[in-house]
Amino acid sequence: MPPLPTPASLLSLLQFHFCPLAFSLESLQSLPYGTNIPTMASGKSLIVTTSDSNEHVSINNVTINGSPIFDDRSLVVFGIDKLFDLNFEVSSRIHSPSSDRTGVVSNTTSISASGAYSFDEASGMMRSRGYSVMASFLDLQLVGLVEQLKLTVFAPVDDAMLVVVGNFSEYSSVFLRHVAPCKLSWTDLANFENGTVLRTFSEFTIKIMKSSDQLMLNEAPVTFPDMYHGDWLVVHGLNQVLERTETLMLGV
């Protein structure tokens, strides 16, 4: 008789079925084979296993049963035909829609269905510099922003992001407030007039302020300018999370 599961293992299994981002069915269908989806279980991610021969979305080889049971945009509930396996692993050599001619699965996620816009290089650079939390969001291919071909990411360092990661309901909005739908290099930012306001996603704005040789975004200093600079994507490092300007003025 197998041993009874402990409360801790049951909690971990439950957390494995919660994702901090609200995916629509269309968003899940757009994710390429091998994409990692974060969960609330520490160090555990789900893996997209959908193939062209399967008309339904598959995650960890478990079928998603069509449209959501519940969807209010901030919370989406899907039905599945069995529990996800905490120990599931995908083979590195499986013929799939995203495999190359050798049969090796590519885990490269992209900003477009064609795979032309890869985040691998940028996210790898961010992880090596201590910005792994924001890099993980990039690895989700910025679902919902696929039409934006030029982006600027203002990435808070991991220590700053750990303050907010406990509230998973805010993951998506926190991330999107740090992404602007245009490409802005350090030189571009420095050349803006003092007080210039940038608009990011989620109806969030960033005010640029200059103090001596320091450039501040909503009072957060840019500590690692041009951490990554590509043809269509720029990443700047911050030492804190961007706060709303009204919050800063109220001192809360």
pLDDT digits (tens, 9 = 90+) for 229-252: 988 889 999 999 998 765 444 343
Residue 4 pLDDT: 57
Query: Is pLDDT larger for residue 38 or for residue 97?
Result: 38
Q: What is the mean pLDDT of residues 53-73?
A: 86
- Evaluate if residue 44 carries a pLDDT over 80: yes
- Please tell me the least confidently modeled range out of 39-53, 124-138, 227-241: 39-53
Query: Is pLDDT larger for residue 152 or for residue 24?
Result: 152
Quote the percentage of the chain above a pLDDT of 70.
72
Q: Where are the alpha helices (DSSP H) in the chain?
A: 7-15, 25-30, 120-128, 132-138, 158-161, 171-176, 186-191, 245-250
The domain locations on the chain are: 1-107, 147-252
Nearest to 176 by CA among 154, 147, 146: 154
- Evaluate if residue 156 carries a pLDDT over 90: yes
pLDDT in tens, 182-218: 889 999 998 888 999 998 876 789 999 988 778 999 9
The owner of tokens 């210039």 is 196
Quote the percentage of the chain above a pLDDT of 90.
24
Q: What is the pTM of this model?
A: 0.55
Contacts of 89 (CB under 8 A, 6+ apart): none
Strands (E), 72-150: 76-77
- Evaluate if residue 153 carries a pLDDT over 80: yes
Confidence of residue 109 (pLDDT cuts 50, 70, 90): very low
Strands (E), the chain: 36-38, 45-47, 58-59, 62-63, 70-71, 76-77, 151-156, 179-180, 197-199, 205-211, 214-217, 220-229, 233-238
In 3-state terms, what secondary structure has residue 114? coil
Contacts of 151 (CB under 8 A, 6+ apart): 111, 142, 145, 179, 180, 181, 182, 183, 232, 233, 234
Contacts of 232 (CB under 8 A, 6+ apart): 117, 149, 150, 151, 183
Report whether 95 contacts 109 (CB < 8 A).
no
* Dist CA 129 CA 212 (whole Å): 26
**Which homologous superfamily does the CATH classification assign to the domain defined by 147-252?**
FAS1 domain (2.30.180.10)
Residue 169 pLDDT: 56
Average pLDDT value over all residues in the chain: 76
DSSP state of 233: E
Residue 79 pLDDT: 94
Residue 83 pLDDT: 93
C-alpha to C-alpha distances, 10 to 5, 17, 83, 165, nearest whole angstrom: 6, 11, 12, 22
Pairing state between β 151-156 and 233-238: parallel
- Evaluate if residue 106 carries a pLDDT over 50: no
- Please tell me the least confidently modeled range out of 56-65, 100-109, 164-173, 243-252: 100-109
